[in-house]
């Protein structure tokens, strides 16, 4: 039986499905902001309630030192059927600057076939279509073709600091044959793609202080260290003129693309004007001698994501500031070790901060890069499912974003398969985040197709290869 037969069932339920998603999107589950901790928990509880309503069993919150994850299962397919773990996250990014939103960020608003709200595509929208497939198949068939488990995290948007420990603690509960992640995207509506790798992450929040108070720039300027000047020099020296990161040893462990991987990457459709449109018109830059897809998928980066020093209000305040702040994130590729990168950056930074300047470094999570073996039968099953819904086989791509896919695969000893439907111009992490509803509905049908395809594909169950 094919899940495409769900089309009629889903067609009758479109308004109800979007209504449930809109309800979830009203919860401002901004995990990086302690002021929203209660909202993150409310989001987890909403998700747990909806899991139960869909027909999942054993639903519970998995507590961490900070925000909870949500677990649910349906294990009625029997021991010979594959067990699939669905991973997603229910936390979201901050919404600043609020004034740039066309509609309120926590009010789901449909315009021109798109649903706008924070979390619409990253990741509540892509979690809920999994739940809706469970609801639809159980209502139609009274059963699912595979055993399903869900773990929906609450800390992904600031580096999943407690998630690997959660995986280790609950490894038996979460044991599976395949992990499916829907927190990724596609090249375009017409050109479906499937992620097979994600970069790792190491983030740092650097605070510099030169004295106890801001100083009069006429009296003290030119005679004391100005932290605004210092942070500017640090940023300028992070890359050389060829766009390469200057931290010693940064590229030492980078795994180069194989000939087959390079050929596959070069076959991807690419339109520079379209890419720049998705980037808001920004001019292209990066590591010299590397293509855009290499820069965003298979090469490591260092990005300054925030700088603050001195007075930024209207008019002028003539001071030498006493503090400055620098936020840096590193995106890492296979074989790079976040711990080694962290040590290298801290050593690099301290060597450039003058004596007498206080340098306080806060780490914002470490994530290892993930790479899925494309020859695994579960990857082929996902490719078939996408082709069945989109009408053409997907390109296999690496994505530049980061998540906890590496510990998912490593701790649970299972391949990680990606089935995400986001688009490059969905404004993820930016004002006016949206999900294209046609992609949403196709994603829902593709998930159903995947369950049936995995159930009938030899070699998916561990030990059966």
Residue 287 lies in a domain: no
In terms of domains, do 36 and 121 share one?
Answer: yes
Q: How confident is the model at residue 282 (pLDDT cuts 50, 70, 90)?
A: very high
Residue 464 lies in a domain: no
Residue 439: how many CB atoms within 10 A of its CB?
27
Residue 290 lies in a domain: no
In terms of domains, do 52 and 147 share one?
Answer: yes
Q: Return the closest-CA partner of residue 202 out of 292, 91, 94, 301.
A: 301
* Residues 135-187: tens digit of each pLDDT: 999 999 999 999 999 999 999 998 889 999 999 999 999 999 999 999 999 99
In terms of domains, do 214 and 340 share one?
Answer: yes
In terms of domains, do 105 and 149 share one?
Answer: yes
In angstroms, the CA 384 to CA 83 distance is: 19
pLDDT score for 159: 83
Phi, psi (degrees; rounded to nearest 5) at 389: -90, -45
Extract the tokens encoding 174: 């979460």
Residue 404 lies in a domain: yes
Largest CA distance in the chain: 80
In angstroms, the CA 451 to CA 133 distance is: 10
Give the neighbor-by-neighbor strand order of the sheet with 57-62: 57-62, 69-74, 147-153, 83-89, 178-181, 416-418
Strand partners for 149? 73, 85
In terms of domains, do 14 and 130 share one?
Answer: yes
- Residue that is last in its domain, among 365, 382, 408: 365
pLDDT score for 131: 98
Strand partners for 309? 324
Q: Return the closest-CA partner of residue 327 out of 352, 305, 297.
A: 305
Taking residues 228-247, report their average pLDDT.
Answer: 98
* Residues 75-133: tens digit of each pLDDT: 999 999 999 999 999 999 999 999 999 999 999 999 999 999 999 999 999 999 999 99
In terms of domains, do 184 and 64 share one?
Answer: yes
Residue 133 lies in a domain: yes
DSSP state of 177: S
In terms of domains, do 135 and 148 share one?
Answer: yes
pLDDT score for 3: 55
Q: Return the closest-CA partner of residue 215 out of 317, 325, 360.
A: 317
Residue 46 lies in a domain: yes
- Residue that is last in its domain, among 365, 385, 410: 365
CB 398 within 8 A of CB 200: no
CB 399 within 8 A of CB 297: yes
If residue 208 lies in a helix (H) or strand (E), which one and from where to where? strand 200-209
- Residue that is last in its domain, among 343, 365, 387: 365
CA 280 vs. chain centroid, Å, equals 20
Q: DSSP assignment of 376-393, as one string?
A: SHHHHHHHHHHHHHHSSP
Residue 37 lies in a domain: yes
CB 216 within 8 A of CB 319: yes
Residue 291 lies in a domain: no
- Reported for 47-52, long-range contacts at CB under 8 A and 24+ positions apart, including other chains, are 47/90, 47/127, 47/152, 48/72, 50/20, 50/24, 50/128, 50/131, 51/131, 51/150
pLDDT score for 5: 67
Give the neighbor-by-neighbor strand order of the sheet with 323-332: 301-309, 323-332, 200-209, 358-367
pLDDT score for 306: 96
Residue 460: how many CB atoms within 10 A of its CB?
25
Q: DSSP assignment of 367-427, as one string?
A: E--EE--TTSHHHHHHHHHHHHHHSSPPEEEEES---THHHHHHHHT--EEE---B-TTS-
In angstroms, the CA 163 to CA 154 distance is: 9
Strand partners for 86? 150, 180
Extract the tokens encoding 180: 């499916």
pLDDT score for 465: 37
User: What does the mean pLDDT of the chain come to?
Assistant: 95
CB 448 within 8 A of CB 135: no
In terms of domains, do 192 and 68 share one?
Answer: yes
Higher pLDDT, 42 or 274: 42
In terms of domains, do 20 and 149 share one?
Answer: yes
Report the CATH number at residue 244: 3.30.70.360
Taking residues 446-460, report their average pLDDT.
Answer: 96
HSE-up of residue 301 (Cα within 13 Å, Cβ side): 22
In terms of domains, do 48 and 64 share one?
Answer: yes
Q: How confident is the model at residue 11 (pLDDT cuts 50, 70, 90)?
A: confident
In angstroms, the CA 196 to CA 210 distance is: 46
Extract the tokens encoding 1: 């039986």
- Domain encompassing residue 270: 257-281
In angstroms, the CA 409 to CA 200 distance is: 14
3-class SS at 148? strand
pLDDT at 462 over 90: no
In terms of domains, do 41 and 173 share one?
Answer: yes
The total number of structural domains that make up the chain: 3
* Residues 41-59: tens digit of each pLDDT: 999 999 999 999 999 999 9
In terms of domains, do 342 and 375 share one?
Answer: no
CA 314 vs. chain centroid, Å, equals 36
Report the CATH number at residue 39: 3.40.630.10
pLDDT score for 184: 94
* Residues 185-231: tens digit of each pLDDT: 999 999 999 999 999 999 999 999 999 999 999 999 999 999 999 99
* Residues 380-431: tens digit of each pLDDT: 999 999 999 999 999 999 988 888 999 999 999 999 999 999 999 999 999 9
């Amino acid at each position: 039986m094919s899940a495409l037969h769900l089309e009629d069932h889903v067609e009758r339920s479109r308004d109800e499905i979007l209504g449930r998603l809109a309800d979830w999107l009203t919860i401002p589950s901004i995990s990086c902001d302690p002021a929203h901790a209660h909202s993150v928990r409310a989001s987890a509880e909403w998700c747990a309630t909806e899991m139960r309503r869909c027909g999942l069993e054993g639903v519970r919150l998995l507590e961490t030192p900070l925000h909870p994850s949500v677990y649910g299962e349906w294990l009625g397919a029997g021991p010979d059927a594959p067990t699939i773990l669905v991973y997603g996250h229910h936390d979201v990014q901050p919404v600043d600057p609020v004034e740039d939103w066309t509609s309120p960020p926590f009010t789901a608003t449909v315009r021109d076939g798109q649903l706008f709200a924070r979390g619409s595509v990253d990741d509540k929208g892509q979690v809920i279509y999994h739940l809706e497939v469970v609801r639809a198949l159980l209502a139609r068939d009274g059963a699912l073709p595979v055993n399903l488990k869900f773990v929906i995290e609450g800390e992904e948007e600031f580096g999943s600091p407690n998630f690997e420990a959660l995986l280790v603690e609950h490894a038996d509960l979460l044991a599976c044959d395949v992990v499916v992640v829907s927190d990724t995207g596609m090249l375009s509506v017409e050109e479906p793609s499937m992620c097979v790798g994600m970069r790792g992450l190491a983030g740092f929040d650097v605070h510099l202080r030169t004295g106890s108070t801001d100083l009069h720039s006429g009296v003290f300027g030119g005679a004391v260290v100005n932290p605004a000047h210092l942070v500017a020099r640090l940023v300028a020296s992070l890359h050389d003129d060829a766009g390469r990161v200057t931290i010693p040893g940064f590229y030492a462990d980078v795994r180069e693309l194989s000939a087959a991987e390079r050929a596959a990457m070069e076959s991807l459709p690419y339109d520079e004007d379209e890419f720049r449109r998705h980037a808001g018109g920004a001019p292209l830059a990066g590591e010299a001698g590397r293509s855009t897809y290499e820069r965003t998928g298979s090469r490591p980066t260092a990005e300054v994501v925030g700088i603050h020093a001195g007075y930024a209000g209207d008019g002028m305040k003539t001071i030498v500031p006493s503090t400055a702040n620098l936020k840096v994130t590193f995106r890492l590729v296979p074989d790079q070790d976040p711990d080694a990168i962290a040590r290298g950056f801290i050593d690099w930074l301290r060597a450039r901060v003058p004596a007498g300047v206080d340098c306080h470094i806060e780490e914002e999570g470490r994530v290892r890069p993930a790479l899925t073996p494309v020859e695994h039968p579960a990857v082929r099953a996902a490719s078939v499912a996408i082709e069945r819904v989109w009408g053409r086989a997907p390109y296999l791509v690496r994505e530049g974003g980061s998540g906890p896919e590496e510990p998912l695969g490593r701790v649970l000893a299972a391949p990680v398969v990606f089935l995400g439907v986001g688009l490059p111009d969905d404004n993820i992490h930016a004002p006016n985040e949206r999900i294209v509803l046609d992609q949403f509905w196709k994603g829902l049908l593709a998930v159903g197709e995947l369950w049936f395809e995995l159930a009938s594909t030899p070699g998916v169950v561990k030990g059966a290869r």
